[in-house]
Amino acid sequence: MIRFWRISLTTVSTLLILCVIGPVEHDDTKEISDDETSSSSETVAIVYNEKGRPATGVKARFYSVNHSPSPLVGSTGLIDSAVSAGGGIIRLGTLPSETYNIEYQLHGELARRDSIVIDKQYLAQGDTLRDTLKAPGGLRGVVRLEPYHDARKAFIVLFGSDLVITPSDSLGNFELRDIAAGQYDAHIITLYEDYGVLDTNFVIRSGEMDTIRDTLKLPFLGLSPIERPAISYDTSWQVANLSWSPHTAQGLAGYHVYLTGPADHTVCLTPKPVFDTLFADTIHFNDTLIAGGTYKYRVCAVDYAGKEGPFSSALSIVAVSLFDSIGAINRCDEQAQGLGGLAGIAMGPDSNVYVCACSQNRILVYDRSGEFRFAFGDTGSAVSRVLCPHDIAFGPDSTVYVAEYNGHRIHRFTAQGEHISVFGGKGAGEDQFQHPRSIAVNEKGRIYVLDEENRRIAEWDTGHTFLRILPRQSMLRMPKELYIADNGSLLLVDFDGGSLFLIDEADAKFHCLAEDLRAPNTLSYDAANKLVYVGDYLSGDVIAFRINGERRWRYQSTTNRIMGLASISPNEFWVGNESRIIRCRRR
């Protein structure tokens, strides 16, 4: 059966040029002028030879099925014009709406007979008939995608006594040799910028070659975009209205639907092949979901023996957020003073949240509901006042350690904000700092300080005695923040290097957990779920990792320039930029 498409005749010249697939031994075609293809009411046939070029010397005869076999077009019963000889285009004129038999003659000999339905609703647009002629040798195909792009990757899938799958060459051409004679149904599947399938059927006779050439119009399976599939937690989500228009074929059992996610991990969503036009299921995807991440559905045909054809379509979706914003903090106290240059955020052992307001030279304390409680660090003598607090950590005795960025010191306070002690001072000596940016304290009371200007990590004991400088790492370019995991290891993000590191407590060896981040600026640790949270300064993303570097989810916040991040509970975290904190809770 020959298929019809509505194709404007003004595009025929372009179509002929773009349909060239390779060199030929003899090329006697000529370019068709716009004048020759200007009619909008004619039916046009474009006939190709076995080399895939517009055939020359072609004659065609149309017969009405319901009338005697007399020609409807052409004074001699055959269409024989300069246009036909010059480019394979045959003008058929305005034919009545009817079913016709069509006969082609090539250089005076019968080349092919077929049938076609002409519908007058198409005639007003001008019809273009594309067909091919038989020649001996096997099965050869050429696949094109509308609007006439080469299908650089294509497969022909034959459903007969056996399932035959043959890939195309780099130009989208395929050949089948030594195929048993018989009746075949076929899918010609293309993988290109878009996806398409041509359904056809044909008979292969011994010693013959059928050349299939067509332009694909509809996307394969007609997959509908899914912008916001429903999601529940981070272990599964509901996929709603994944629909397609299935193409049935003899020998086809159905389709498998796959989902591909991080690290190309693939899960089959259809244990049994399906033909359903509506597919919905809950996907358990290896306990892994990156909210805001991209996943692909892929679909392939399956025969009754369970053998799969090639993946033939793909649809990307973006997983929605796992978290809802439950409030924002824009002001810090009863005087409605702004946050002012927010830096570090940390959850204290007293269930309060401590925020470094760098430009205000003080630490702000909130309860978990976001209510302001008190502030400290900006009163007292010069010894106890903090100049630009940048990070906070808590000792095993619940005391508060503050990294004083502009004062080049480390302060120690009670949980109520009373000053206890201070150590350090500006300089490059072992017991000095130049802009301490981050601080972490382990369960033994060991203190780790990230010294930005001196480009080092220093370790101190509980009595504030210097112990060592961790080995320098050439891989570090701009480390930004330290955090202690529950196994005692140090976590570190490197802004310029786009990396997340784990540092062994005993031997201080560095292990890279991720190196493809955009601009990691801050981090926190969720001990209950054993997840590392990384805040990206530029994108506003919060990405969760397992301690082995496996990604779990990604939250795209409504803020960018992330400066602070804190895990508040297994279901909640706070993320802030320089002037606002967003409180996020898991759905």
Q: How far is CA 254 from CA 200, 249, 283, 308, 497, in A?
A: 17, 9, 20, 10, 47
pLDDT value of position 548: 87
Hunting for tokens 């409030």 — which residue is that?
Answer: 327
C-alpha count within 13 angstroms, C-beta hemisphere, residue 487: 13
pLDDT of residue 549: 86
HEC sequence for 242-292: EECCCCCCCCEEEEEEEEECHHHCEEECCCCCECCCEEEEEEECCCCCCCC
Rg (CA), the chain: 35
- Predicted TM-score (pTM) of the model is 0.51
| Nearest-angstrom CA–CA distance, 246 and 279 | 12
Q: Please tell me the distance from the alpha carbon of residue 365 to that of residue 376, in angstroms, as a whole number.
A: 8
Are the beta carbons of 520 and 491 closer than 8 angstroms?
no
The answer as to CATH 3.10.560.10 being correct for domain 222-318 is: no
* Fold classification of 389-586 (topology level): Neuraminidase (2.120.10)
Which CATH code fits 137-218?
A: 2.60.40.10
Q: CA angle 199-202-204, nearest 5°? A: 140
Beta bridge partners of 272: none
pLDDT on residue 168:
62
CATH 2.60.40.10 boundaries in the chain:
1-133, 137-218, 222-318
Top CATH class of 1-133 equals mainly beta
Question: How buried is 507 (Cβ within 10 angstroms: 0-12 exposed, 13-18 middle, 19+ buried)?
Answer: exposed
What residue has token string 């004129």?
93
pLDDT along the chain (587 residues), means of 10: 28 24 28 30 46 51 49 34 37 56 56 54 41 41 44 56 58 58 59 47 51 36 29 31 42 66 66 54 40 59 66 48 66 59 91 92 91 89 92 95 96 95 93 94 94 91 91 79 91 92 88 89 92 90 86 72 90 86 81
For CATH 2.120.10.30, the residue range(s) in the chain are 389-586
> Going by DSSP bridges, is the β-strand pair 210-216/139-145 parallel, antiparallel, or unpaired?
parallel
Position 64 scores a pLDDT of 54
Structure confidence at residue 555 (pLDDT): 76
